[in-house]
Each structure stands twice: as C-alpha cells, then as structure tokens.
Amino acid sequence: MDIDVRGPRFGAAVTAVVLAVVLVTGSAWLLAWQTLAFALGAAGGVGRSPYGVLFRRVMRPRLGPPTAFEAPEPPRFAQAVGLVFAVVGLVGYTLGPQWLGLAATGAALAAAFLNAVFGYCLGCEMYLLVRRLTVRAG
C-alpha cells in the first residue's frame, strides 16, 4: 500500500533538526536516538518510525487528505542508508576519531535537508538505481 509523501518529508525535517543539534552539541546520546529512529524506520517502514507515528497522529489530521502517494520501499531503504551513516557517526563520536562522527552526521544531515526542503530523497534515488540495475542484470 502506498504512503502519503508528506510523512517521509516530515520525518526528514525532524531528522534534519536532530542531526543539526548533534553537530552543534556533539551529543552522542542524541545521535543514538536518531540511530534508533532510523533502525525502526528501516525495520518496520517509515510509518513505524517515531517521526512517522508523530506525523500520523499529530500532523496528518491537521493537513487534510493526501494528494500524492509513493511506494513505501524507497523511503524504507533511505532509512536503512540513514542508519548506516548514523552508526558510523555514533562510532566516531563515541570511539573516535571525532571527525568521522562529524562527517557521517553531516552527510546524513545533508540528505535529510534535501528531502525536507526540496523533496529530493537521496536514499530513494539509490533504491531506484539499484532496482533498475538489478532488473537489467537479471
């Protein structure tokens, strides 16, 4: 079943704010929270992530019916990509080197910002590219 495109975009906006705060404060605990949010979104889909639940319960009733939908697989893959970057960032912040934490968190922030502001999901585009390549190869 397709999902409301506003949900992942809302999640990306919250993610961008969280990751920006991580970069400013260097908080490994906050990055651990974001890592958990990515893990839940990758495992259960964006609707089961904390930000997806927040969107569904608080924001969507105030916005009216959705006008655009998308397949759930690309945003779910994007959550998995975000999870990888968050884990690498968490390793950098907790075990070092700190520049690794900064770089991985910054890359995840850039991707979340693109999705939140412009509706361009890098992880979704990666999913679609991999899918096209595997269809051609198969």
Dihedral over Cα of 109, 111, 117, 121: its sign:
negative
Q: Residue 138 above 90 pLDDT?
A: no
Closest to 46 measured CA to CA, from 91, 15, 21, 16: 15
Both tokens of 88, joined, read: 């690498």
Backbone angles phi, psi at 70, to 5 degrees: -145, 160
Examine the pLDDT at 101 and tell me if it is beyond 90: yes
- Predicted confidence band of residue 16 (pLDDT cuts 50, 70, 90): very high
Give the pLDDT of residue 65: 93
Residue 96's pLDDT is what?
A: 95
**Residue 34 is encoded by which pair of tokens?**
């974001």
What residue spans define the domains of the chain?
A: 3-137
The model's pLDDT over 43-97, given as tens digits with 9 standing for 90+, comes to 999 999 999 999 999 999 999 999 999 999 999 999 999 999 999 999 999 999 9
* pLDDT at residue 48, as a whole number: 94
Beta-strand relationship, 69-70 and 3-4: antiparallel
- Tens digits of residue pLDDT in 32-51: 999 999 999 999 999 999 99
